[in-house]
Amino acid sequence: MDEYDLMLERAIKKLPPMATRHQRFEIPKISSFIEGSRTIIKNLGDIANALHRPQDEIFTFLLKELASRGDIEKGRAIIERPMKDEMINDKIKKYTNEFVLCKECGKPDTKIDIIEGHTALRCMACGAWRFVRKI
């Protein structure tokens, strides 16, 4: 091997394990139903687990984006108005793009940090970070 190959091999060994993983990430779809004038989301906890974010944070984002009130009762998220699944899924996709996916490498292996007193999204795969707004 020449010197370049040795340096490349050494650099690849120093990468975090999640940077070399190649798996497809899909944003989970909601499972909901309308009950009177309310929309009940049955699987918000599963979505939060898949995105590695707190359920309350995602629900707060949804309520602000949908301009509605709501609450979480017995593991179900309740929005105080009837909503179509497509609209809620669009808002979850917007949340994922803004607060979960890395803009540099596109991986969902991120976490929210405080950098210089501001909220930032830090990628655990590539090390990139960027400031994000508070929810």
Q: pLDDT of 74-106, one tens digit each?
A: 889 999 999 999 999 999 999 999 999 999 988
- For the chain, the structural domain boundaries read 26-100, 103-135
CA distances (Å), origin 93, targets 27, 34, 42, 90:
7, 21, 17, 5
Answering whether pTM is above 0.75, one says yes
Higher-confidence residue of 44 and 115: namely 44
Report whether 29 contacts 88 (CB < 8 A): no
- pLDDT given at position 115: 85
In SS3 terms, 82-98 reads as CCCHHHHHHHHHHHHHH
- pLDDT given at position 8: 81
CA distances (Å), origin 23, targets 19, 26, 85, 95, 109:
11, 10, 26, 21, 12
Q: In the predicted model, is pLDDT for residue 24 greater than 80?
A: no
Q: Span 11-15, mean pLDDT?
A: 76
Q: In the predicted model, is pLDDT for residue 17 greater than 80?
A: no
Contacts of 106 (CB under 8 A, 6+ apart): none
Phi, psi of 59 (to 5 degrees): -65, -40
Please give the CATH number for the structural domain made up of 26-100: 3.30.30.170
Q: In the predicted model, is pLDDT for residue 19 greater than 70?
A: no
Q: pLDDT of 29-72, one tens digit each?
A: 999 999 999 999 999 999 999 999 999 999 999 999 999 999 99
